[in-house]
Structure 1
Amino acid sequence: MTKTSRNQIKKFQQAIEEQGIDLALFTDRENIIYFTGLTELACVAVIIPAKSEPIAVTLWLDAPYLKEKGAIENVQGYRFPSSNLGEKVVQVIQGLKIKKPTIGFGKYFVEFSVFDALRTGLTDAQLVSVSETVYKLRAIKDEKEIASIQQAGDILATGMEAAVASVKEGVKEVEILAEAEYVMRKAGSEGSNFRMQVLTGERQLLTHPYAQNKTIEGNQTVVIHLGATYKGYCAKMCRTVALGDVPSETYHIYQTLQKAQQAAIESLKPPVAVKDVYDAAYQVIEAGGYGQYFIDDIGHGIGIRQSEFYPIIGRTRNHIIQAGMVVDLMLATIYHKEFGGPRVTDVVSVTADGPRLMTDFRRDMITVG
């Protein structure tokens, strides 16, 4: 991925130069992976000047590895605890000798110690956000990035098969998840970058639930939401299993969701406004009688982060989906306390010729027991 990272650095430099930004600073794991091409790093900062070569700052023990394997040649180490990441970053930026620098950084996931060092050590600097710039850059994937996401998607299929096969009365949610994760790890997954879910009952309507030591009973749905990562890039998939007899209304909700998802996928013909993708799904939901139980956002980009901030597919968003993007559609459910909860989501590659599913597993409601 180092060649990809070098190309991304050049594109990013051009973008910030056009915005009048002297340099950008990143300390979050996702952008470290993106700009170095490496995943086995911590305690790292990447400094990208608009008009000169990028610099990486890391623990002195990791500096040789980063220099040899990563996309950035200028690597400077610091010794802890006599120094720290923030102090070294300020020292490096001062060495660039830029008067009153305008420094861009991500407005999310910034360590306070680094921010405090910037604030006290570079009193004449102007700090601005480059979040939108970097998220738009990350939204367009090259062939290697898409290949990594596809590999993660292929791994997911093995995990979902194992999870579905494990669904039965008397089994705990965490046991089903353990079977899936074991199979995916053996298939090459580097893990999931979100807490995976096996959910029953009303917890299916929560925003960020996760598998618990809860014994599964019959005659209910089981929602399985899995993630896999390959070379730092992730894919995710969600399916719903009917264990025994479930209400016909729940089946109808799932069928409506699946039809809405398919309509949204078929609308991914670039360039397309995210609002149009949302509307394609919502029309199906409304026709099914569930419009009042549906939410305003139904999908987002996916890549190094399982929920990228560009594009976000929603009713009020103004993002545009372009060829080369990869999106996740559509984890939203019908928020009806009595019958809601089933979900279906897939990863879709947006090509010039239209959408291509990257998660290959049956999408109907799966019945067991």
Structure 2
Amino acid sequence: MAAKFIYRIKKVQRLMTERKIDILVVVKRENIIYLTGLTQIENMAVLIPIEGEPCIIANWLDADYIEEESGLKTFSYFKPRENLGDKIAKRINAYGFRNVIIGLEKYFISNTVFETIKKALPEAKFIDASDLFYKVRAIKEPSEVEKIKQAAVMVCKGMETALNLIRPGVSMLELSKEVEYALLKMNSNRIPFRIQIVSGERGLLNYAASSCKYIKDGNIVLVFLEAIYEGYYAKICRTIAVGKIPLEQELLFENLLEAQEKAIAALRPGAKAWEVDFTARRIFKKLGLENQFMDIIGYGVGLRPIEYFPIIGRKYHDLIEAGMVIELFSPKIYVKDRGGPRITDLIYVGEHENEILTAFPRKLFRV
């Protein structure tokens, strides 16, 4: 097994000791990628004991391949005679735990697998360990940062494609297809979330999808893109003015950009998440728009487009550390008739200075 994966497993085991977890059952795709480097990971689980060697449970068709690629002992199960839950329970017993405390990814393990383990191990205690993985993955290794940078190059190229095509009379759905094709040609593993190219009142929707609506002169168009490189995400959002737009909207964007710049400057090792949020939020408080800016303004980014540690928001005390990659801003300004502008970038928190990984001009674009 590669040294970096051994190092990651040791990090997980240290946190297990703090949480008094005897064994972790890992089924979530990004956690398996993080711990093993595998991407052929359907219908499988990684078991990590508090001490000793982890193992993998996999479908018999994949078991030999997975063991060879991961370097971990792999136990197979034969469907339909056996199922994943049965085999997990047997291997937990084989580790020799008594009154075992099992950590699970609560929202990601199937009910069938969970109930099977629970029935086979009636003395076991189950706890949610989802947050453990977010904390382990929060500090990025140099190789992880490089993969995020590659994905960032893709979204920047995708944004360039969008800017070259945006004009009155083009449908946003047609535009989305062209941008998606451009991202796939640049070897984005897949399009992780639907491309959002929206304008007008749809710009205020939380997860608006591109529609058949045509771009009109005087519109503000929001372009939000994501890409994946070897499992790692990048994202970007820019605001484009088509023709002349109201001065109120231009000023709102300038305020948003100022707030983002101040938040990026505050995103330093040792800062608390709420302090970064406060730095940005006070600009909107002066304008009477504090309540039009969502309580959470950013998240970690990595093997998920949203990593739930750290969370940048007014009620969060997560500690910012060097090596984190964080998006700012996640939300837009929600003001009817003049709101909707948004700017999103990925920030690498360095020891001495930050780096904006989405190296694309940060301004109000005009076409």
What is the TM-score when the length of structure 2 is the normalising length?
Answer: 0.96
Within a 5 Å distance, the mapping from 1:192-271 to structure 2 comes to 192-271=191-270
Residue 334 of structure 1: CA displacement?
1.2
> Given that residues 184 and 191 in structure 2 are in contact (C-alpha distance below 8 angstroms), is that contact kept between their aligned partners in structure 1?
no
- Superimposed CA distance per residue, residues 84-135 of structure 1 (whole angstroms, 9 cap, x where no aligned partner): 2222211221222211110011222221111111211111100012222221
User: What secondary structure, in the 3-state scheme, does the structure 1 residue paired with 2:236 have?
Assistant: strand
Task: Show the counterpart of 2:279.
Answer: 280
Answering whether residue 325 of structure 2 is matched by residue 326 of structure 1, we say yes
Evaluate the alpha carbon distance shift between residue 4 and residue 173 of structure 1 in structure 2; reply closer, same or farther with a 3 A threshold: farther
Residue 136 of structure 1: CA displacement?
0.8
Q: Within 2, Cα distance between the matches of 1:361 and 1:313? A: 22
Q: Which structure 1 residue ranges, 4+ long, deviate > 3 Å from structure 2?
A: none
> Given that residues 334 and 341 in structure 1 are in contact (C-alpha distance below 8 angstroms), is that contact kept between their aligned partners in structure 2?
yes
User: What secondary structure, in the 3-state scheme, does the structure 2 residue paired with 1:310 have?
Assistant: strand
User: What secondary structure, in the 3-state scheme, does the structure 2 residue paired with 1:271 have?
Assistant: coil
What is the TM-score when the length of structure 1 is the normalising length?
Answer: 0.95
Task: Show the counterpart of 1:50.
Answer: 50
Question: What is the aligned-residue RMSD (CA, Å)?
Answer: 1.5
Within a 5 Å distance, the mapping from 1:1-369 to structure 2 comes to 2-70=2-70, 72-368=71-367
Q: Which moved more, 1:278-287 or 1:210-219?
A: 210-219
> Given that residues 2 and 37 in structure 1 are in contact (C-alpha distance below 8 angstroms), is that contact kept between their aligned partners in structure 2?
no
> Given that residues 237 and 342 in structure 2 are in contact (C-alpha distance below 8 angstroms), is that contact kept between their aligned partners in structure 1?
yes
> Given that residues 32 and 44 in structure 1 are in contact (C-alpha distance below 8 angstroms), is that contact kept between their aligned partners in structure 2?
no
- Superimposed CA distance per residue, residues 22-77 of structure 1 (whole angstroms, 9 cap, x where no aligned partner): 1001111121111111223211211111111111112112222221222x511122
The one-letter amino acid of 1:85's match is: L
Identity, % of aligned positions = 37
The one-letter amino acid of 1:19's match is: R
Q: Which runs of 5+ in 1 are unaligned?
A: none
Evaluate the alpha carbon distance shift between residue 195 and residue 3 of structure 1 in structure 2; reply closer, same or farther with a 3 A threshold: farther
Q: Within 2, Cα distance between the matches of 1:51 and 1:263? A: 44
Q: Which moved more, 1:178-187 or 1:319-328?
A: 178-187
The one-letter amino acid of 2:47's match is: I
> Given that residues 153 and 235 in structure 1 are in contact (C-alpha distance below 8 angstroms), is that contact kept between their aligned partners in structure 2?
yes
Q: Within 2, Cα distance between the matches of 1:174 and 1:56? A: 43
Q: Which runs of 5+ in 2 are unaligned?
A: none
Residue 9 of structure 1: CA displacement?
0.7
Q: Which moved more, 1:261-270 or 1:32-41?
A: 32-41
Residue 312 of structure 1: CA displacement?
0.2
The one-letter amino acid of 2:6's match is: R
Q: Within 1, Cα distance between the matches of 2:16 and 2:26? A: 14
Residue 157 of structure 1: CA displacement?
1.0
User: What secondary structure, in the 3-state scheme, does the structure 1 residue paired with 2:307 have?
Assistant: coil
Q: Within 2, Cα distance between the matches of 1:68 and 1:213? A: 48
Residue 2 of structure 1: CA displacement?
4.8
Residue 247 of structure 1: CA displacement?
1.4
User: What secondary structure, in the 3-state scheme, does the structure 2 residue paired with 1:272 have?
Assistant: coil
The one-letter amino acid of 2:347's match is: V
Q: In the comparison of the two structures, how many residue pairs are matched?
A: 367
Evaluate the alpha carbon distance shift between residue 292 and residue 21 of structure 1 in structure 2; reply closer, same or farther with a 3 A threshold: closer
Residue 174 of structure 1: CA displacement?
2.2
